[in-house]
């Protein structure tokens, strides 16, 4: 099972920071076991959300140069309160250092001004073809899928775009129909 723990990327300051949100829903399967009768987002998944946010910033900075971005190290991770269903976790990662194969971030997850998780993470990045050149097509396929997902995360859902789309002027069309008979009326559509 793959966990996508970023629902939307709301802000990108290229090469510096990224802000994303995770909307926790009771429909998420892992909540049935964590914990029965008291569903909360597991701390490791809050850390994974920070990792995913950092990975998106790296991809944005490097124009998707690497197919794989993974968590290498998590340091000084501290947890605040519980993240319950119906809440929105706002995740922010700030770039600390960007080396040839590793990137360090300071990250935090906040709800209503209260810190839920914070710490430093180091992400490692590479391509599968680095060790096996025949995997170049696999890298390309992964990157293409990530580009599509990033575009979706950046612009939000179709419904959200429709809600913020400026209204177009309405036009009325008047159709003339015969003055006698069963269709004897004027039809207006908007």
Cα dihedral value 74, 38, 6, 48, nearest 10: 20
In whole angstroms, how far apart are CA 31 and each of 18, 28, 88, 128? 27, 6, 15, 33
Catalytic residue among 34, 66, 98, 136: 34
Among 21, 126, 17, CA closest to 83: 21
Task: Indicate if 66 belongs to the active site.
Answer: no
**C-alpha to C-alpha distance for 81 and 11, rounded to whole angstroms:** 25
Give catalytic residues, as residue numbers: 34
């Amino acid at each position: 099972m793959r966990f996508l723990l970023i629902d939307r990327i709301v802000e990108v300051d290229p090469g510096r920071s990224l802000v994303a949100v995770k909307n926790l829903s009771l429909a998420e399967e892992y909540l049935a076991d964590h914990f029965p009768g008291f569903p909360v987002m597991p701390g490791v998944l809050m850390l994974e959300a920070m990792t995913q946010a950092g990975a998106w910033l790296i991809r944005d900075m490097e124009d998707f140069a690497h197919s794989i971005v993974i968590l290498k190290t998590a340091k000084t991770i501290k947890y605040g309160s519980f993240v319950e269903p119906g809440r929105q976790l706002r995740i922010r990662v700030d770039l600390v250092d960007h080396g040839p194969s590793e990137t360090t971030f300071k990250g935090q997850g906040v709800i209503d001004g209260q810190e839920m998780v914070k710490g430093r993470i180091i992400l490692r990045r590479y391509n599968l073809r680095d060790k096996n050149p025949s995997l170049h097509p696999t890298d390309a396929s992964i990157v293409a899928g990530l580009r599509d997902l990033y575009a979706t995360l950046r612009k939000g859902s179709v419904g959200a775009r429709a809600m913020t789309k400026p209204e177009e002027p309405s036009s009325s069309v008047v159709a003339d129909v015969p003055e006698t008979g069963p269709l004897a009326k004027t039809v207006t559509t908007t």
